[in-house]
């Protein structure tokens, strides 16, 4: 074999789970043929030098009734490509959890069985369900406990309300869905208008679909840029939105006005919740 | 109330389920306070004139073991915002279905209980699981039967292999994940390099994350542009990928080469499958 053939063969063996995933057992396990953690590629890999192709991250993604499932699956699709990482969907019990749009997912672990020391703790958003989760004693106790020790404390969309309610955003810059970003100030956070906000070990994404940008940023943080770029190519993340209405800055007035009004009640409730915290 | 207040109040009532979703029963139902189907907004709505705020689409989204869950959830998150539409996740049985990255979802309906006449038939992609589904007799019989009468026959990512294997792409322009787009020729389709390809009533998306662009295009097709723009703003789809590696045209060589090699075996198997069909 030439050096290039060897490199290709190594990559094929290392990255196989990224592309040729098999249905896994309910509790995710690292790839069985995993090389040791922190395995680095040969030095002829160019920008891939020192890429952490294999890891052992413990990632816990909160689920609760009424969550927005896209908030969860965008990041999960990126985390799920990290070989060796254990990505667990965690809920209060092992009962199936139904999203705001009627998708029902079976959790991998409960608040009790979730590992105590996490690499990443993550919360997805929603509307009514998120306000309920952000006032639920067991959920807040779980988030506060794991968040106190997790290497990264993270969220997408209004999931940052749950982080805030658990006392995890005091003094941190953070973002959220546009409808409740300013409410974060009530938790002592510094609301920040950006797609992904990284302040020390807090990483928060904006609304719903920002989970893809957040997920790629996290893979680059946890592994390296080349690994994240491989995830981006495999998931063909080359967005071409057919319209330009994805932010308050670009949406036409006849779209922005009714949507701001539509979410005004949620905005008010989020602000009240944050002030009470 | 002024005309503007009335318009806002009407919009609030009409669009509420879009934002304030409650956990629904397992079989999705139209919003209980729904105005009649094809309800149009008042004529002072500007570009919203004639928007179909309420509809009665029957949407069936195929699930199978080893599917890529992001292929499913991107479009589902857009379809799920269409008030009055019934969005069903359909599988061979009601047993939970586990994705390639270990997400387990409970189906709403089986091949037998899925409505016979659909507005949209949809197939998500994957790798090994997709090749298996594209050779499964019951799956192909279901797709061919519903596809023969559906108003739109659609897919994201390698889901187009399942459409092709069911005989639904003969003579149609279509796309797929970059790793198996050319294979579509074996089914008699015309492989087309675009994010979303619309040929008569066939609408196919490129790899994984194209499901968001596909979903918005479908909402605009089924309802109208303003409705789709509202979905885009609520899901804050204003993508900012941190890297520029999302397509074969933009990925750096050191990312493109190993990923093409990684998927070469899948590419070969997809081509062989298509040639046999």
Residues A156/A75, Cβ–Cβ less than 8 Å: yes
In a domain, B26, yes or no: no
Rounded distance between C-alpha atoms, residue B153 and residue B199, angstroms: 10
pLDDT (tens digit per residue) in B177-207: 999 999 999 999 999 999 999 999 999 999 9
A157 noted as active-site residue: yes
pLDDT (tens digit per residue) in B149-179: 999 999 999 999 999 999 999 999 999 999 9
Provide the CA A227 distance to its chain's centre, in angstroms.
Answer: 17
Residue of B nearest to A48 (CA): B254
pLDDT at B217: 98
Rounded distance between C-alpha atoms, residue A177 and residue B236, angstroms: 7
Provide the CATH number for the domain around residue B107: 3.40.50.880
A45 in contact with chain B, both atoms CB, cutoff 8 A: yes
Q: Collapse the DSSP code of A217 into the 3-class scheme (helix H, G, I; strand E, B; otherwise coil) and give the result.
A: helix
B14 pLDDT band, cuts 50/70/90, is very low
In a domain, A31, yes or no: no
| Sign of the alpha-carbon dihedral angle for B260, B263, B264, B266 | negative
Consecutive H or E run containing A109: strand A109-110
Residue B204 makes CB contacts below 8 A (sequence gap 6+) with B154, B155, B156, B159, B160, B163, B174, B175, B176, B196, B197, B214
Mean pLDDT of chain B: 87
pLDDT at B50: 62
Q: Rounded to two decimals, what is the model's pTM? A: 0.87
In a domain, A45, yes or no: no
Residue B115 burial (C-beta neighbours within 10 Å; 0-12, 13-18, 19+) = middle
Rounded distance between C-alpha atoms, residue B53 and residue B40, angstroms: 7
Give the domain range for residue A148.
53-276
Residue B189 makes CB contacts below 8 A (sequence gap 6+) with B160, B164, B169, B170, B171, B172, B173, B174
Give the sheet arrangement for strand A97-98, strand by strand. A97-98, A104-105, B104-105, B97-98
d(CA B25, nearest CA chain A) in Å? 7
pLDDT (tens digit per residue) in B134-149: 999 999 999 999 999 9
Rounded distance between C-alpha atoms, residue A24 and residue B136, angstroms: 20
Q: How far apart are the first and last CA of chain A?
A: 63
B28 pLDDT band, cuts 50/70/90, is very low
In a domain, B66, yes or no: yes
Enumerate the active-site residues of B: 157
Consecutive H or E run containing A123: strand A120-123
Domain count, chain A: 1
Residues of chain A contacting B212 with CB distance shorter than 8 Å: 209, 239, 241
Interface confidence, given as ipTM, is: 0.87
pLDDT at A53: 83
Torsion of CA A205, A210, A216, A219, to 10 degrees: 30
In a domain, A12, yes or no: no
In a domain, B138, yes or no: yes
pLDDT at residue B234 tops 70: yes
pLDDT at B23: 31
Residue A153 makes CB contacts below 8 A (sequence gap 6+) with A121, A147, A163, A168, A201, A202, A203
The verdict on a CB contact (< 8 Å) between B24 and A89 is no
d(CA A13, nearest CA chain B) in Å? 9
pLDDT at A43: 32
Residues B9/B1, Cβ–Cβ less than 8 Å: yes
Q: Collapse the DSSP code of A116 into the 3-class scheme (helix H, G, I; strand E, B; otherwise coil) and give the result.
A: coil
Rg from Cα positions in chain A: 19
CA angle B152, B158, B162 (to 5 degrees): 60
Rounded distance between C-alpha atoms, residue B9 and residue A60, angstroms: 40
Give CA separation, A220 vs A78, A152, A204, B133, B242, in Å: 10, 13, 15, 33, 9
Q: According to DSSP H, which parts of B53-157 are helical?
A: 69-79, 128-133, 137-149
Query: How many CA atoms lie less than 13 Å away from A101 in the CB half-sphere?
Result: 27
Q: At what angle do helices A225-234 and B253-262 cross, to 10 degrees?
A: 50
Q: What are phi and psi of B141, to 5 degrees?
A: -65, -40
B82 pLDDT band, cuts 50/70/90, is very high
pLDDT at A52: 76
Q: What are phi and psi of A75, to 5 degrees?
A: -65, -40
Both structure tokens of A184? 């974060």
Residues A3/A44, Cβ–Cβ less than 8 Å: yes
A:47-106 residues touching chain B, CB 8 A cutoff:
47-48, 65-66, 68-70, 73-74, 76-77, 80-81, 87, 89, 96, 98-106
pLDDT at A275: 96
Report which of A202, A220, A240, A238 is spatially closest to residue A81, judged by C-alpha positions.
Answer: A220
Query: Which residues make beta-bridge pairs with B58?
Result: B86
pLDDT at residue B235 tops 90: yes
d(CA A61, nearest CA chain B) in Å? 12
Residues in chain A: 277
Residues of chain B contacting A16 with CB distance shorter than 8 Å: 262
A:130-159 residues touching chain B, CB 8 A cutoff:
157
Residues of chain A contacting B241 with CB distance shorter than 8 Å: 212-213, 216, 232, 237-239
Strands (E) across chain B are located at 58-62, 86-91, 97-98, 104-105, 109-110, 120-123, 152-155, 173-174, 190-191, 196-199, 202-205
Give CA separation, B125 vs A20, A166, B55, B75, B157, in Å: 12, 38, 27, 12, 5
Per-residue pLDDT of chain A (277 residues; tens, 9 = 90+): 444 444 444 444 445 445 443 333 334 433 322 222 322 333 333 344 567 789 999 999 999 999 999 999 999 999 999 999 999 999 999 999 999 999 999 999 999 999 999 999 999 999 999 999 999 999 999 999 999 999 999 999 999 999 999 999 999 999 999 999 999 999 999 999 999 999 999 999 999 999 999 999 999 999 999 999 999 999 999 999 999 999 999 999 999 999 999 999 999 999 999 999 8
């Amino acid at each position: 074999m030439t050096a290039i053939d060897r490199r290709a063969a190594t990559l094929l063996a290392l990255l196989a789970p990224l592309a040729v995933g098999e249905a896994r057992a309910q509790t995710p396990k690292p790839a069985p043929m995993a090389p040791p953690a922190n395995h680095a590629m040969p030095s002829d890999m160019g920008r891939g030098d020192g890429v952490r192709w294999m890891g052992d991250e413990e990632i816990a993604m909160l689920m609760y009734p009424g969550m927005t499932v896209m908030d969860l699956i965008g990041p999960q699709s990126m985390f799920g490509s990290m070989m060796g990482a254990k990505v667990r969907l965690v809920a209060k019990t092992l009962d199936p959890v139904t999203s705001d749009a009627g998708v029902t997912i079976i959790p991998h672990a409960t608040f009790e069985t979730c590992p105590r020391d996490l690499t990443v703790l993550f919360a997805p958003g929603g509307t009514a369900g998120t306000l309920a989760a952000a006032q639920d004693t067991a959920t807040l106790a779980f988030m506060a406990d794991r968040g106190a020790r997790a290497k990264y404390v993270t969220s997408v969309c209004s999931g940052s309300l749950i982080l805030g309610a658990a006392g995890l955003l005091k003094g941190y810059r953070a973002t959220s869905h546009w409808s409740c970003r300013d409410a974060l100030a009530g938790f002592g956070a510094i609301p920040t208008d950006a797609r992904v906000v990284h302040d020390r070990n807090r990483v928060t994404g904006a609304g719903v679909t920002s989970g893809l940008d957040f997920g790629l940023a996290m893979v680059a943080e946890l592994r390296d840029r080349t690994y994240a770029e491989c995830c981006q190519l495999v998931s063909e993340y080359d967005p071409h939105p057919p319209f330009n209405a994805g932010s308050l800055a670009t949406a036409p007035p006849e779209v922005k006005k009714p949507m701001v009004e539509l979410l005004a009640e949620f905005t008010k409730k989020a602000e009240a919740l944050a002030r009470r915290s």
